[in-house]
Amino acid sequence: MTALTAAELVAGYAAGAFSPVDATEAVLARAHAVQPSLNAFVRIFDEEALAQARESEQRWDRGAPGGLLDGVPVTVKDILLQRGSPTLRGSWGVSGEGPWEEDAPSVARMREHGAVFVGKTTTPEFGWKGVTDSPRHGATGNPYDPARTAGGSSGGGSAAVAAGAAPLTLGTDAGGSVRIPASFCGIFALKPTYGRVPIYPASAFGTLAHVGPMTRDAADAALLMDVISAPDSRDWSQLGPLTGGFRDGLGNGVRGLRIAYSPDFGGRVAVAPDVAAAVRRAVDRLVELGAEVEEVDPGFDDPIEPFHVLWFSGAARVTQHFTPEQRERMDPGLREACEEGARSSALDYLAAVDARMALGKQMGVFHQNYDLLVTPTMPDTAFGIGREVPDGAPYRRWTGWTPFTYPFNLTQQPAASLPCGLDSAGLPIGVQLVGARHADALVLRAAHALYGTSVTELPPPPPPPTPTPTPTPQD
């Protein structure tokens, strides 16, 4: 049961094949089984989840499910507010006292649709980097090899989905934070167009930050997007309401789509041979499905410097109230990034905004000719746990190994990662699909078409080792 998608669970409830309590008990058991080796959770809600599942079971027994996700186990990244549970953001600088009386918009929408909340998942401190470890909650391992990173910053949720500890999770992405761990853990993730999923409170990283679904396939992501894209008056920057839903036309395929394929951003990025070959096979499947594919580079220079100004300034802003004692307990890399961000002037910030707008214009023009852009999600597969960059890397910050992800946070475009194979070490590889702003449904449609082929089929992660008894994770 822990391998089923959300759609399959809902179908099973409707048919009476099993109940939300059955599913929740199975998922909770799996969550506890993988927690010692993966550290995917900061909290597991045993009693609360089972109470919600029993209420859902009663609704299904009456033939009156309460929403699209009624009885589906879900997890939430410990960046997003969840009523009744501390949101600690991986930081000793956040008090757990509360009160915790409010849901983030996406969490509120899932609650309204009857979701069963299994736990809060791990994040690096304030979600600041592309791996998941923090002084407060430790490091999250990869289900395919717990000695390697799950990626980040939504690594806890990605590890949970891949390991069978919930079919759906909510993540945040301001530089690749749902796509990086999706690639490393072999699952699906979508960074929607900025504003499509309402955010509250506003992120310190401003309009770089998106909330998005992390799931077992594109169909589940479309289902979750139909839930979490509903408007919320607390977000002044949200987009207007949609006409129709993300599941409408999901099966229409890719025939006739104009797709640009950039294997290495015009030779600028060194891509591991196994990754390059797997992504090329995914592109070949798109051609077989009827897409018109051209190998072409989008042609922009690496926007790492303006991204750093915006990113590090946001980090400095969110921690500016910290006491000297709290700063001593911060992630050392985050402390360095905050010091760098605090040195940026208003003119530096505005120059970064100018560079961002120019990149947005360039990609807008690019998508006049191409419906989608395909790239590797990551240039390599997961590296050792507990470090910000791979051993021997020539750069100090996580942005050095994520060149395919953060540019599309600057441009606010929808971008998805889906699995396309394993490397020689048995680690997942991801392919990224990028659409023009507002083309979220098209990205999901193309991803769903690939899920109809063998290219996305991965063997499951190895089973977790038999754990020694440990208490439910709590702060």
Supply the residues annotated as catalytic: 77, 153, 177
372: Cα within 13 Å, side-chain hemisphere: 29
Backbone CA torsion sign across 185, 229, 376, 332: negative
Q: Which residues contact 206 (CB under 8 A, 6 or more apart)?
A: 310, 314
Q: What is the dihedral of CA 388, 389, 390, 392, to 10 degrees?
A: -120
Q: Give the Cβ contact number of residue 466 at 10 Å.
A: 7
Look up residue 66 and give its DSSP letter: -
Dist CA 266 CA 430 (whole Å): 19
Nearest to 53, CA basis, from 85, 15, 22: 22
Question: Which of left, alpha, beta for 249 (phi over 0: left; psi -120 to 50: alpha)?
Answer: left
User: Based on C-alpha coordinates, what's the Rg of the chain?
Assistant: 21
Two tokens at 186?
Answer: 């072999």
Token pair 């399959």 is found at 8
Dist CA 185 CA 188 (whole Å): 9
Dist CA 167 CA 11 (whole Å): 14
How big, in percent rounded to 5, are the helix, strand and coil portions of the chain?
35, 15, 45
3-state class of 179 per DSSP? helix
